[in-house]
């Protein structure tokens, strides 16, 4: 079978890697890919935003399964175009992708189906928005409705900050059209966790749990990033009563709501949660795998990923067993100095060949004259598994220490707990 993986990050590297373990998969194309995917498989220099070119390529090569990694092409309707061209696609259609493309769409869905979430109100003009900022007290959360590359959520401690935030999103249009509508949301306290689920249009099957680390530096200091590391399984999910509540109060009504609303979701739903006193509430939905949770979670998958993805596409998840390894996994990201703010690219990455006991998933890398160079903020993710979380963690850090590039940094506290 010939597979096309669309995207170029660590997530897509992990998806391609997991698919490459399948004896049924004979060829993997990654579009546009990075240095690592080009070395292991074949990169295709076509932009996922050029839907016509993507479809033409898939038809010409006889692609049996296309997997769309990132949210932008999903929200832009690439899945609809590909399936219209007769290609099997893992990834939701444009209607279902609105759960990530519009925060207000998700809030409305959650409310109508009585799924626990923060109270909210939506605004389309700056004056009414400013008047409504205090409704839920402070701190308050302001969310640009549309896609904003993870930057469109502002947590405002007091009225002054909230007014400034409102002006930033709607007045200065800091996130462009994504801020045409603003969701004002009650601030929730608790611990954050996320669950990745496979969906086949009628069924929802959660994957093994994971925890990601969003802040740039140790002890959750520094700016929010795309994610600096992850581990799986998440210790929060040792709590069986919590897992049951998530199933009953969130997963079941979500899939029932999708069916009732005529939303045919085939792909991965990422559910962001806030948990306090054993009570889970939905923060957001994303419509794809999370990065870097995917690296840890897929490292523990024992079932052929191509079988699971085809079962999702064909609406047959009930016939598809899914097995996970008991061995925990730890993923540590190596980033460019300065990330998530300004950073330099083009640094030579040394030591990749010395890694023996971990998988290196490339993200922001490119190949030039046989050398692997940095080409983004998050450069690599190093994932190791072990008998215990501690062993996986030690391995990941031991292997990561063999790799270096100028100004590179990583967190030293991924999967480390105060004892
Ligand atoms: N209602 C809320 N209460 C407290 N924190 C929130 C709330 N909504 C979002 N956050 C925080 O902001 C982060 C980003 O919000 P999220 O809805 O996940 O949007 P995105 O990932 O698109 O930026 C969350 O991971 C969480 O830390
Ligand atoms: Mg989020």
> What span, in angstroms and rounded, lies between the C-alpha atoms of 349 and 403?
7
142 pocket-lining for ligand 1 (C-beta < 6 Å) = no
Domains of the chain are 2-93 (3.40.50.20), 119-186 (3.30.1490.20), 191-319 (3.30.470.20), 329-400 (3.90.600.10)
> Per-residue pLDDT tens for 264-278?
999 999 999 999 999
Blockwise average pLDDT, block size 10, the chain, 419 residues: 98 98 98 98 98 98 98 98 98 98 98 98 96 95 94 94 95 95 97 95 97 95 93 94 97 98 98 96 97 97 98 98 98 97 97 98 97 98 98 98 98 89
283 pocket-lining for ligand 1 (C-beta < 6 Å) = yes
Cβ proximity of 308 and 320 under 8 Å = yes
147 pocket-lining for ligand 1 (C-beta < 6 Å) = no
> Looking at residue 66, what is its pLDDT?
98
Supply the residue whose CA is at minimum distance from atom 8 of ligand 1.
283
Supply the residue whose CA is at minimum distance from atom 13 of ligand 1.
153
> Looking at residue 419, what is its pLDDT?
57
192 pocket-lining for ligand 1 (C-beta < 6 Å) = yes
* Residue 58: CB atoms within 10 Å: 27
The helix or strand, by DSSP H or E, that contains position 311, with its residue range, turns out to be: helix 305-313
Task: State both tokens at 22.
Answer: 């399948």
153 pocket-lining for ligand 1 (C-beta < 6 Å) = yes
Query: Which of 137, 138, 140, 141 has most ligand 1 atoms within 8 Å of its beta carbon, as the pocket-test mutant?
Result: 141
In which order are the strands placed within the sheet that holds 27-32?
Answer: 42-43, 27-32, 2-7, 65-68, 89-90
Exposed (0-12), middle (13-18) or buried (19+): which is 32, by Cβ within 10 Å?
middle
DSSP code per residue over 241-281: HHHHHHIIIIIHHHHHHHHHTT---EEEEEEEEEEETTEEE
> Burial letters for 204-230: b for 16+ Cβ neighbours within 10 Å, e otherwise?
bbbbbbbbbbebbbeeeeeeebbbbbb
Ligand 2 center to residue 56 CA distance, Å?
33
Cβ proximity of 325 and 304 under 8 Å = no
Closest alpha carbon to 277 in 229, 236, 247, 337: 236
Query: Which of 118, 214, 283 has most ligand 1 atoms within 8 Å of its beta carbon, as the pocket-test mutant?
Result: 283
Supply the residue whose CA is at minimum distance from atom 27 of ligand 1.
192
53 pocket-lining for ligand 1 (C-beta < 6 Å) = no
């Amino acid at each position: 079978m010939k597979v096309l993986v669309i995207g170029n990050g660590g997530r897509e590297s992990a998806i391609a890697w997991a698919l490459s373990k399948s004896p049924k998969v004979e060829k993997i194309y990654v579009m546009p890919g990075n240095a690592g995917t080009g070395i292991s498989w074949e990169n295709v220099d076509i932009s996922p935003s050029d839907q016509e070119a993507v479809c033409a390529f898939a038809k010409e090569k006889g692609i049996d399964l296309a997997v769309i990694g990132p949210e932008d092409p999903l929200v832009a309707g690439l899945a609809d175009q590909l399936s219209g061209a007769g290609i099997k696609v893992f990834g939701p259609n444009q209607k279902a992708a609105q759960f990530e493309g519009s925060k207000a769409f998700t809030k409305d869905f959650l409310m109508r189906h009585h799924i626990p979430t923060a109270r909210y109100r939506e605004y389309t003009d700056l004056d009414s928005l400013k008047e409504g900022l205090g409704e839920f007290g402070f701190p308050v959360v302001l969310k640009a409705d549309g896609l904003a590359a993870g930057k469109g959520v502002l947590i405002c401690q007091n009225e002054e900050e909230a007014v400034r935030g409102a002006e930033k999103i709607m007045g200065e249009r800091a996130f462009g059209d994504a801020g045409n509508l603003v969701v004002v949301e009650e601030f929730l306290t608790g611990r954050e966790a996320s669950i990745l689920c496979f969906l086949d249009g009628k069924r929802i099957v959660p994957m093994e749990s994971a925890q990601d680390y969003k802040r740039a530096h140790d002890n959750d200091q520094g700016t929010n990033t795309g994610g600096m590391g992850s581990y799986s399984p998440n210790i929060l999910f040792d709590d069986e009563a919590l897992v049951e509540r998530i199933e009953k109060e969130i997963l079941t009504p979500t899939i029932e709501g999708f069916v009732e609303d005529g939303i045919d979701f085939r792909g991965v739903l990422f559910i962001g949660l806030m948990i306090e006193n054993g009570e889970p509430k939905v923060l957001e939905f994303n419509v794809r795998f999370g990065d870097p949770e995917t690296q840890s979670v897929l490292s523990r998958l024992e079932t052929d990923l191509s079988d699971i993805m085809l079962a999702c596409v064909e609406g047959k998840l009930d016939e598809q067993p899914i097995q996970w390894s008991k061995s925990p996994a730890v993923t540590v990201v190596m980033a460019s100095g300065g990330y998530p703010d300004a950073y330099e690219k083009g640094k030579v990455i040394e030591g990749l060949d010395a890694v023996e006991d971990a998988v290196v998933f490339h993200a922001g890398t490119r190949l030039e004259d046989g050398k692997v160079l940095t080409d983004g903020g998050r450069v690599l993710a190093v994932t190791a598994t072990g008998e215990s979380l501690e062993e996986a963690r030690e391995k990941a850090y031991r292997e990561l220490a063999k790799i270096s590039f100028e100004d590179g940094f990583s967190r030293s506290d991924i999967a480390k707990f105060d004892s």
